[in-house]
Amino acid sequence: MAKLFVTGGAGFIGSNFIRYWLEKYPEDEIINYDVLTYSGNLANLFDVEEKFGDRYLFVRGDIGNYLFARHLFDQYHPDMIVNFAAESHNSYAITNPGIFFETNVVGTQRLLQAALDAKVPRFHHISTCEVYGDLPLDSDRTFKEGDAFHARTPYNAAKAGSDLAVRAYFETFHLPVTISNCSNNYGPYQFPEKVIPYFAALLMDNKPMTLYKNSKNRREWLHVLDHCRAIDLVLKKGKIGETYHVGSGLEVDVEEIADRLLNIFGLDHSYKQYIPDRPGHDRRYLLDSSKIREELGWQSQVEFESGFAETIQWYRDHEDWWRPLMGRSPVKEDSWKTA
């Protein structure tokens, strides 16, 4: 039996991970530690407490609160910390960069210190492909573990800082850590400020999708359950001190995302509206995920076409989930001004 301390578990990926883990490992327990910012949503876990009973506990708290985190570690003695907690919306990072560095860098450092002082046996940190910057659209390059960071936005930089903090606690203090950097995730329970649920919600409200001017910018898309499976393997088989990239290898540009949605909803191209790019709009990310595939045996299982269709159907079936969240985001995506 293992006890996991999951930070940011009321968010998109964290809540999917909690559900995945409790279903797969019926003897394990999870403490979900989340401060509940605007995008943290306990409705993501509406079924978990009822279904899993005393194997699941929610505690509201901030990763930047060293004393409270240390108290919880001493009280519950977790076997593993899985750190999803982060501010993650690039657009919000432009309007309020300070909170990204406070949460993602300072908060992660304080959580690491609490884990070190409490002698927690394992610390796994969730990161992003965006720490490496971006790639030209016509490039054949991919990001590899060990590549230099070249963050271009406050969010990217804050996540890069958190990765470096985790690495420093391993190298200097020998805290048993692993890191995983993932590509863009999609799936159920994603807050409707991110492109797929945001566009779907707009169309369900009979409103046009707001595409950035450079709509051919590409992302590598990974289903959230494939990401959960990868984290599982890293926790079970990953080598302490190592970083693992998690990506599907499939790239889709924003224009195609919009076209797929129009096809699903039976709408024409008049539902596409183009707006100025946000500052620092990255062109392309693509991870080399050969290490986790070859060393740990991971592979993506959800094919994008079916996964995308099932995801959109989930949002169509769960309007009661996403509708109360619309307007909660602190950024208005169609309000960018040209320089």
Residue type, position 324, single letter:
P
pLDDT at 339: 33
Q: What is the pLDDT of residue 338?
A: 37
Provide the pLDDT confidence category of residue 334 given band limits of 50, 70 and 90: low
pLDDT band with cut points at 50, 70 and 90 for residue 204: very high
How many other C-beta atoms lie within 10 A of the C-beta of residue 3? 15
In this prediction the pTM is 0.95
Residue 337 has pLDDT above 60, yes or no: no
C-alpha distances (whole Å) from 198 to each of 190, 191, 286, 303 are 9, 8, 23, 21
Average pLDDT, the chain: 94
Helix axes 195-204 and 254-265, enclosed angle (nearest 10): 30
Cβ-contact 313, 249 below 8 angstroms: no
- Residues belonging to the chain: 339
What is the C-alpha separation between 254 and 58, in angstroms, rounded? Answer: 36
Q: Which has the minimum average pLDDT: 203-217, 225-239, 275-289?
A: 275-289
CA–CA gap between residue 61 and residue 40 (Å, rounded): 12
Q: How far apart are CA 3 and CA 81, in angstroms?
A: 9
- Round to whole Å and give the CA distance between 231 and 14: 11
pLDDT digits (tens, 9 = 90+) for 266-286: 999 999 999 887 777 778 889
- Which among 261, 244, 237, 239 is positioned nearest to 183, based on CA atoms? 244
- 22 or 332, greater pLDDT: 22
Q: Where are the alpha helices (DSSP H) in 10-96?
A: 12-24, 48-52, 66-76, 90-95
Reported as a single tens digit per residue, the pLDDT across 101-159 is 999 999 999 999 999 999 999 999 999 999 999 888 888 899 999 999 999 999 999 99
pLDDT bracket for residue 214 (50, 70, 90): confident
Which domains occur in the chain, in start order? 3-191+221-250+282-302 (3.40.50.720)
